[in-house]
Chains A and B, each alone.
Chain A
């Protein structure tokens, strides 16, 4: 009964927002976007931090895992949410990006901005290399092969002496400072907690400049991903996701578009890897375990696969909640897991699914989907029997 109440309450909350958004013109939407970005820039505030994260360093948390997970979730969403390909080895691309940064920056002393471009290209290429032989497989088979790929990348890193083997790499360079300009110690900056902040000076201690870099990357990834979704490519992905054979019969080059989804998803994961690596300075192969792939996938599914605000919300919750409930000590993971399970029972289609995704879900195809459907139906039957 409480479940139904929560469910109704959530719908009552989400639906008007959706309707309001749908009715909004282009210009007001731009305004909302600007406000959201502005809000994101003010987030590393100490007051916000004392509430959001009383047990850990809020500014560091904002960069990673919160910002990092969000960027990774947007990238994985291209593959899983848009093209409908189950990728269980997404962490591999994060690792390729991180190691690209480490190798090119530390060994070859390349400039950070060049590395970003090359890192994205290298991970896109690794996406193609993984995709080309495997994308003829479908569903579960593809999932297993991608899972294997994730492990292969990690184990290769572990066994390659040139990139540090199991000890990984350290001394990865920070980006060069764009400017050492600092916010003045005057109003309104002091009130916002900004005074003295050097937003474009990339040093060891202050994680805020990296966070801003992450916000920029997230904004660009959102724009890119949105544009794709509304293009011919996006339509082709939707068709492939819903019925691959039918898509081919419509004249969609399905293989080519699946490969493109893999490459684009990979490059966003690679971008996240480059940023992560330049901030943390040292990386080891165990920073890229299978569980991270699973976590990002959970974020996408929890938030609402296919819908960008949804997957961002999912990634935020998955990154933030475990930190916020640190006071629960060893019960933390247990409770977090239970909450995830409960969420998926209440809203198997995710917190903020797209309209399309909802309709696909109603069809009841796809493993997890039909399971969720069964849970709620059986409950209804019990109620009716009483």
Chain B
């Protein structure tokens, strides 16, 4: 198992946002986490990447317990994240944003930069534009490209389709598939459950801080409860 989240509890002050969540992600998989607003999806990703401390439970990555490892060291360990809201550096150019992604690594990054530009030709066209002036969709590409610059073993994506036009959503999802084909494990958080379940191998359903279902993604597509709650098909069934 590449990433193993073991019964974690996370609190904001006294309020419990995660109440004993366990998630497993195997090497090479695309795993998706779906759930309503406020279910705790972002909190799970932030806890994995070390931005939030956990109260109890353990996170194992690559066989190591990383529960108390500071966030910046988890990047070196192989965890990359494109955060919710994208987290682009507005005052840095597209190229500098990408290079920040490789901050923790040493050496020559021209090849990695080229790879990012191959994956997202739009970024290559705008490589000297300030990050803050990129459109929402372009920023999403930049956030993913930047996370890849760290050469992560697992890529955490928090709602990459948020606020994007349907055409662009399609494009982002096929790029995620391509990233996975090239060997990167993906943990994907999505509101767009329909698309996410078609793309992923396995899925977890999160409700108010607890996992209520986990199954192969395709199965959940036909699950009446999931359809009713997350696929907007409740009325027709």
Contact present for B87 and A251 (CB under 8 Å): no
Interfacial chain A residues near B146, Cβ < 8 Å: 250
Q: Among residues 200 to 243 in chain A, which have CB atoms less than 8 Å away from a CB atom of chain B?
A: 232, 235-236, 238-239, 242-243
Q: Which B residue sits closest to A248, measured CB to CB?
A: B71
A248-B100 contact given A242-B91, A356-B91, A360-B90, CB 8 Å threshold: no
Cross-chain contact of A238 among B81, B91, B132, B150 (Cβ < 8 A): B91
Interfacial chain B residues near A358, Cβ < 8 Å: 91
Contact present for B90 and A363 (CB under 8 Å): yes
Size of the chain B interface, CB-CB below 8 angstroms: 30
Contact present for B130 and A251 (CB under 8 Å): no
Q: What does the 1/0 interface line of B104-129 toward A look like (CB < 8 Å)?
A: 11000000000000000000000000
Q: Among residues 64 to 81 in chain B, which have CB atoms less than 8 Å away from a CB atom of chain A?
A: 70-73, 75-76, 80-81
Contact present for A235 and B100 (CB under 8 Å): yes
> Given the complex of chains A and B, what is the CA–CA distance between A95 and B80 in angstroms?
44
Interfacial chain A residues near B132, Cβ < 8 Å: 359-360, 362-363
A337 at the interface (CB under 8 A from B): no
Interfacial chain B residues near A40, Cβ < 8 Å: none
Give the most central of B70, B87, B91, B132: most A CB within 10 Å: B91
> Given the complex of chains A and B, what is the CA–CA distance between A243 and B71 in angstroms?
14
A249 at the interface (CB under 8 A from B): yes
> Given the complex of chains A and B, what is the CA–CA distance between A254 and B70 in angstroms?
10
Contact present for A249 and B76 (CB under 8 Å): no
Cross-chain contact of A251 among B89, B90, B104 (Cβ < 8 A): B104
Report the 5 A-B pairs with minimum CB-CB distance, sorted nearest first.
Answer: A251-B104, A246-B87, A356-B91, A251-B75, A359-B130
Contact present for A239 and B71 (CB under 8 Å): no
Q: Which A residue sits closest to B100, measured CB to CB?
A: A250
> Given the complex of chains A and B, what is the CA–CA distance between A238 and B97 in angstroms?
11
Taking the nearest CB of chain B, how far is it from the CB of A249, in angstroms?
5
Q: Among residues 11 to 65 in chain B, which have CB atoms less than 8 Å away from a CB atom of chain A?
A: 49-51
> Given the complex of chains A and B, what is the CA–CA distance between A334 and B89 in angstroms?
39
Contact present for B87 and A249 (CB under 8 Å): yes
A249-B81 contact given A235-B103, A359-B130, A363-B132, CB 8 Å threshold: yes
B174 at the interface (CB under 8 A from A): no
Q: Which A residue sits closest to B71, measured CB to CB?
A: A248
> Given the complex of chains A and B, what is the CA–CA distance between A232 and B80 in angstroms?
20
Interfacial chain B residues near A253, Cβ < 8 Å: 70, 72
Contact present for B72 and A357 (CB under 8 Å): no
B83 at the interface (CB under 8 A from A): yes
B145 at the interface (CB under 8 A from A): no
**B residues lining the A interface (CB < 8 Å):** 49-51, 70-73, 75-76, 80-81, 83, 87-92, 100-101, 103-105, 130-133, 146-147, 150
Taking the nearest CB of chain B, how far is it from the CB of A363, in angstroms?
4
Taking the nearest CB of chain A, how far is it from the CB of B200, in angstroms?
22
Interfacial chain B residues near A363, Cβ < 8 Å: 90, 132
Contact present for B103 and A251 (CB under 8 Å): yes
Cross-chain contact of A248 among B51, B89, B101 (Cβ < 8 A): B51
Taking the nearest CB of chain A, how far is it from the CB of B188, in angstroms?
16
> Given the complex of chains A and B, what is the CA–CA distance between A245 and B64 in angstroms?
23
Cross-chain contact of B92 among A255, A356, A362 (Cβ < 8 A): A356
Contact present for A359 and B90 (CB under 8 Å): yes
Cross-chain contact of A250 among B73, B90, B101, B131 (Cβ < 8 A): B101
Q: Which A residue sits closest to B82, measured CB to CB?
A: A249
Contact present for B49 and A251 (CB under 8 Å): no
Contact present for B150 and A242 (CB under 8 Å): no
Q: Which B residue sits closest to A242, measured CB to CB?
A: B89
A116 at the interface (CB under 8 A from B): no
A252 at the interface (CB under 8 A from B): yes
> Given the complex of chains A and B, what is the CA–CA distance between A251 and B103 in angstroms?
6
Q: Which A residue sits closest to B101, measured CB to CB?
A: A250
Interfacial chain B residues near A250, Cβ < 8 Å: 72, 75, 100-101, 103-104, 146, 150
Q: Among residues 165 to 194 in chain A, which have CB atoms less than 8 Å away from a CB atom of chain B?
A: none
Q: What does the 1/0 interface line of A345-363 toward B look like (CB < 8 Å)?
A: 0000000000111111011
Interfacial chain A residues near B76, Cβ < 8 Å: 251
Give the most central of B49, B88, B130: most A CB within 10 Å: B130
Contact present for A246 and B83 (CB under 8 Å): yes
> Given the complex of chains A and B, what is the CA–CA distance between A232 and B185 in angstroms?
29
Q: Which B residue sits closest to A255, measured CB to CB?
A: B70
> Given the complex of chains A and B, what is the CA–CA distance between A236 and B92 in angstroms?
12
Contacts A239-B92, A246-B83, A360-B132 aside, 4 further interface pairs with beta carbons under 8 A come to A247-B100, A249-B49, A251-B72, A254-B72
A245-B89 contact given A250-B103, A250-B104, A251-B104, CB 8 Å threshold: no
Taking the nearest CB of chain A, how far is it from the CB of B145, in angstroms?
13
Taking the nearest CB of chain B, how far is it from the CB of A255, in angstroms?
8
A245-B75 contact given A239-B89, A360-B132, CB 8 Å threshold: no
Taking the nearest CB of chain A, how far is it from the CB of B150, in angstroms?
7
Contact present for A243 and B70 (CB under 8 Å): no
Q: Which B residue sits closest to A306, measured CB to CB?
A: B91
> Given the complex of chains A and B, what is the CA–CA distance between A43 and B180 in angstroms?
65
Interfacial chain A residues near B71, Cβ < 8 Å: 248-249
A236-B103 contact given A249-B81, A252-B72, CB 8 Å threshold: yes
Interfacial chain B residues near A248, Cβ < 8 Å: 50-51, 71-72
Taking the nearest CB of chain A, how far is it from the CB of B179, in angstroms?
17
> Given the complex of chains A and B, what is the CA–CA distance between A359 and B90 in angstroms?
6
Give the most central of B71, B75, B81: most A CB within 10 Å: B71
Contact present for A245 and B51 (CB under 8 Å): yes
> Given the complex of chains A and B, what is the CA–CA distance between A242 and B73 in angstroms?
20
Taking the nearest CB of chain B, how far is it from the CB of A353, in angstroms?
10
